[in-house]
């Protein structure tokens, strides 16, 4: 069977010598490969008017974690803990999220990726959960705890793709973020929620695969329910023989 080609988005970070370097955790590639896909770094400098042509060579898109989305893109409240804004990445990932929604191209969003999906489709974010969500849990657990530390549970909503994928109504998940969804896009359906009310999963119904989760399943390689998310994504992206 042909392995589907998955475009994986990356961040561009500045080194101490002021040169730029692409940054991507290996675990994303490993999870896609184990699920049967062919991960390829997506060309983040693609001009927007050439995006559809480039996307014709991919069977799916993975929006990865990383720095914060510019609050100006969703009329967000400025906050001193906002970090790592990359205007080029913001622009290309938002367009990718919109394209995949409109053209039924399978898309998986992880952490920042879920937030991008929401902003792209008209939703908003907390620019800092701890200061803006009363009664919030401790969501930014790294580096105080390892990336695979199971920080809290999430309730998975019935009759969603996520519950069909994981076979669970509740899961323990890791948590590596300080931002999160505030107002959910009208185009997205809630699929998972933390005990403090923070949205932890969202999806588009009647789409081949348009699923986002706020935690990092790629950091949980020994969790069948988490790895099932990648398997379902790759099945949806697999070309028919």
The residues annotated with a catalytic role in the active site are 111, 216, 218
The tokens describing 129, both together, are: 């959960």
E runs forming strands in the chain: 5-8, 11-14, 20-23, 38-41, 60-63, 107-110, 125-126, 152-156, 170-173, 180-181, 189-193, 199-203, 210-213
**Cα dist from 132 to 164, 184, 186, whole Å:** 32, 16, 22
Query: Which of 212, 210, 215, 211 is CA-nearest to residue 194?
Result: 215
The tokens describing 88, both together, are: 């080029």
The tokens describing 9, both together, are: 């988005």
DSSP state of 157: P
How far out from the chain centre does Cα 7 lie? Answer: 13
39 neighbors 32 (Cβ within 8 angstroms): yes
């Amino acid at each position: 069977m042909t392995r589907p080609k998955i475009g994986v988005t990356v961040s561009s970070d500045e080194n101490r010598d002021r040169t730029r370097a692409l940054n991507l955790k290996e675990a994303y590639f490993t999870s896609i490969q184990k699920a049967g896909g062919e991960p390829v770094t997506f060309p983040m400098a693609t001009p927007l008017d050439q995006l559809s042509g480039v996307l014709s060579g991919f069977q799916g898109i993975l929006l990865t974690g990383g720095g914060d989305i510019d609050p100006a893109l969703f009329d967000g409240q400025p906050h001193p803990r906002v970090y790592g804004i990359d205007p080029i990445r913001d622009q290309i990932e938002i367009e990718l999220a919109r394209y995949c929604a409109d053209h039924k191209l399978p898309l998986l969003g992880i952490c920042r990726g879920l937030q991008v999906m929401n902003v792209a489709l008209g939703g908003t974010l907390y620019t800092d959960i701890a200061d803006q969500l009363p009664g919030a849990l401790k969501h930014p657990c790294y580096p105080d705890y390892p990336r695979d530390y199971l920080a809290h549970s999430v309730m998975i909503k019935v009759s969603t793709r996520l519950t069909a994928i994981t076979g669970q109504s509740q899961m323990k998940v890791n948590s590596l973020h300080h931002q999160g969804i505030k107002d959910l896009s009208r185009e997205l359906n809630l699929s998972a929620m933390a005990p403090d009310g923070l949205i932890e999963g969202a999806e588009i119904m009647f789409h081949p695969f348009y699923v986002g989760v706020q935690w990092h399943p790629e950091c949980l390689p020994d969790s069948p329910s988490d790895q099932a998310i990648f398997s379902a994504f790759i099945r949806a992206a697999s070309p028919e023989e």
